Structure 1
Amino acid sequence: MDNPFEAIDGRLRNIEALVLEILQHQRAGPKSMLPEVGGIELAQEITQLSKSRVYALVSARKIPHAKRGNKLYFSLTELQSWISAGKRFSGDEIE
């Protein structure tokens, strides 16, 4: 007679493998799944700013973007660099 726990053990191994795969995807982060170039939605996701604020920054030419016709385009790496360039240093880091 077969061991009744073998089937349960096999299923638990499958569940464990799936959980590990899910954890790896979570550790990669949602930003890794973002496209390199996108529209206003990409800018909102990266900057965490409202659509109207992003449009105001575009209008003032204070955020990196490109425009073709009526469509705005944003580069993921340019937005990340723009955010990093705005970093403020603490008093200890300035000295």
Structure 2
Amino acid sequence: MNHNPFELLHSHLCRLEALIMEQISNAKAEPSATEVGGLALAQEITRLSKPRIYGLVSAREIPHYKRGNKLYFHREELLAWVTAGKRNVHQNVR
């Protein structure tokens, strides 16, 4: 069999490009677990107002980091904090 080396190279490049595009699309679909953000991230996850979040920070009741005048929050820590507040539900059986 006499294969054209340019055609072989082209087919390998096409497969490689498809794999790279698949990896890029998978990476964009998954949010980063170590995502760090500011007050907007905390509001998005907790659905609380700015004054309420500032109050929780002041009382040291919400996980946060402070560098200078800026507040930082980790998505993973906020999600863990929210889910830690789960309450048991009483079910009426009748």
Given the two structures, how large is their TM-score scaled by the length of structure 2? 0.60
Equivalenced residues, count = 63
The CA deviation at 1:89 is 1.3
For structure 2, the 5+ residue unaligned runs are 1-28
Q: Determine the C-alpha separation between the residues in 2 that align with 1:35 and 1:84.
A: 17
The corresponding residue for 1:58 is 57
The structure with more helix, counted as a fraction of residues: 1
The CA deviation at 1:91 is 2.5
Q: Which amino acid aligns with 2:47?
A: Q
Q: Which amino acid aligns with 2:54?
A: Y
Q: Determine the C-alpha separation between the residues in 2 that align with 1:57 and 1:74.
A: 13
For structure 1, the 5+ residue unaligned runs are 1-27
Q: Which amino acid aligns with 1:49?
A: L
Q: Determine the C-alpha separation between the residues in 2 that align with 1:71 and 1:34.
A: 21
Q: Determine the C-alpha separation between the residues in 1 that align with 2:54 and 2:89.
A: 30
Q: Determine the C-alpha separation between the residues in 2 that align with 1:89 and 1:46.
A: 22
Q: Which amino acid aligns with 2:62?
A: I
CA-based RMSD of the aligned residues comes to: 2.2
The CA deviation at 1:33 is 7.7
Deviations 1:12-69 (A, max 9, x none): xxxxxxxxxxxxxxxx6xx948971000010000000001110000000000000011
The share of aligned pairs that are identical, in percent, is 62
SS in 1 for 2:73: strand
- Which of 1 and 2 has greater Rg? 2
The CA deviation at 1:70 is 0.6
The corresponding residue for 1:39 is 38
Deviations 1:69-94 (A, max 9, x none): 111000000000000100101125xx
CA contact (8 A) 1:34 1:42 kept: no
The corresponding residue for 1:90 is 89
The corresponding residue for 1:73 is 72
SS in 2 for 1:57: helix
